Amino acid sequence: MKPGESAMMVEEFEFYRKVRANYCNVSFMMWFTYRLSHRHSKTATARGAFSCGVNAHTQTLEYTIQLKSEPIGRPYSESGTFLFPSVYEEIPQQVIEYENYPIHKQRYRVPITYDWHEFVRSGARSGINVHTMQALLGKWKLRGKGEDFVDAKLKVTKLQFDW
C-alpha cells in the first residue's frame, strides 16, 4: 500500500455504516402525465424516497424505493370523429403507491479506494430514472368505476433527486 492510500481506503464495515447513514430515505420528486380526454393530458406529481443497503455476502448495493402520487382521477368522456370514436372511462380518485419496492442492485469492489459517494449516486441514477420509473408505472393498475382496470396512458416526464 502506498503512503496516503490508507486515508482513501474505506473498510467494508465502514462503507456499510456510511451508506446506511447517508443514503437512507433520500427523497425525490417525479412528474408524470395521464390521459384526461382526447388530446388532453394532465400533469401529476409523486413524492418518493430511496434507501440503499449493503449486502456484504454478495457485495451488492440494494436500492429500494417508496413512492406515493397525489390523487389522480378523470371523468367519463367520449370524443372523436366519425371514423375514430374514443371513450375514456371514468377513473375515481386514487393514488399510486409503492412501499419498499426493490428497484436496483449493483456490485461494489473491495477494497473501497474509490469515491463511494459518487458510486452510490450513480447507482441511484441508473436504477431510478425516467425509463425505470416508466416501467414501474406500467405495472400499476388503475381501477375504473366498475372495478375494471383502466389504461390512463401514464407517462413519466421528469425525475429530480434531493441530494
pLDDT 10s digits, 98-111: 999 999 999 999 88
pLDDT score of 105:
97
Q: Is residue 66 a part of any domain in this protein?
A: yes
Q: Cβ(66)–Cβ(48) under 8 Å?
A: yes
Q: Is 129 among the domain residues?
A: yes
46 in any annotated domain: yes
The pTM score is 0.83
Residue 102 lies in a domain: yes
Residue 50 lies in a domain: yes
Domain residues for the domain of 33 are 5-157
- Residue 163 resides in a domain: no
* The predicted structure's pLDDT at residue 81: 67
Give the pLDDT confidence of 66-93 residue by residue, as tens digits. 999 999 999 988 876 667 778 888 999 9
Between CA 45 and CA 68 the distance in angstroms is 9
Domain presence at residue 54:
yes
Non-local (6+) Cβ contacts of 57 within 8 A are: none
Within a domain: residue 74? yes
Distance CA 112, CA 154 (A): 40
Quick one: average pLDDT of 145-157? Answer: 91
pLDDT in tens, 126-138: 999 999 999 999 9
Number of domains in the chain: 1
Summarize the confidence of residues 135-159 as an average pLDDT. Answer: 92
Q: Does the pLDDT at position 5 exceed 50? A: no
- What's the mean pLDDT in 26-54? 94
